[in-house]
């Protein structure tokens, strides 16, 4: 919209001699609309969830006990344990074959702050011994996922 600050009613063509015309766009309605949209997006942003929700089938729990399975644990300092007993990494495969006859796979648990080098060495050692390595993880709760998203947004 263009407005003129002339004293005339706009019926005359051209400019009047003493007052120059002033053409401005009124941006107040634009700012109002943008602020309303901003508020709407701020209120609805936390409602949106990202990702695909999949409902996995439920099965009977396995009858095996954790004591019956070889579990290799690596502490954040890099110390290797076989079912909570310290073991030398060079003797790890022999200890698994001695304690667990017929074992074809091993569960590997490592602290999330463990450097990757000890984990890679254990995986290589178990691979040479023809043992399959299954990495143990913990599923995220819904609250853990939301807090991770919120911390990522604040960065």
CA atoms within 13 A on the CB side of 108: 25
Ordered by start, the domain boundaries in the chain are 66-135
Q: What is the gyration radius of the CA atoms in the chain, in angstroms?
A: 34
* Domain 66-135 annotated CATH 2.40.370.10: no
List the alpha helices (DSSP H) in the chain: 28-44, 92-99, 116-128, 142-154
Average pLDDT over residues 47-70: 63
What are 62-94's pLDDT values in tens digits?
555 555 678 888 888 888 888 888 888 888 888
8 Å CB contact between 107 and 100? no
Mean of all residue pLDDT scores within the chain:
76
Residue-wise pLDDT tens digits, 104-155? 888 888 887 888 888 888 889 888 888 888 887 777 665 555 666 666 565 5
Looking at residue 34, its pLDDT comes to: 95
């Amino acid at each position: 919209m263009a407005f003129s600050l002339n004293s005339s009613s706009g019926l005359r063509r051209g400019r009047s001699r003493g007052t120059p015309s002033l053409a401005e766009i009124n941006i107040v309605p634009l700012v109002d609309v943008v602020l309303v949209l901003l508020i709407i997006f701020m209120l609805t942003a936390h409602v949106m969830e990202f990702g695909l929700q999949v409902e996995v089938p439920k099965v009977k729990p396995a009858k095996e006990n954790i004591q019956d399975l070889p579990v290799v644990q690596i502490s954040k300092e890099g110390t290797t344990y076989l079912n909570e007993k310290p073991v030398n990494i060079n003797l790890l495969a022999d200890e698994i074959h001695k304690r667990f006859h017929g074992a074809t796979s091993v569960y590997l648990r490592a602290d999330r702050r463990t450097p990757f080098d000890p984990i890679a060495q254990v995986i290589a050692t178990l691979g040479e011994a023809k043992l399959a390595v299954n990495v143990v993880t913990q599923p995220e709760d819904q609250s853990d996922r939301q807090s991770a998203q919120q911390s990522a947004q604040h960065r």
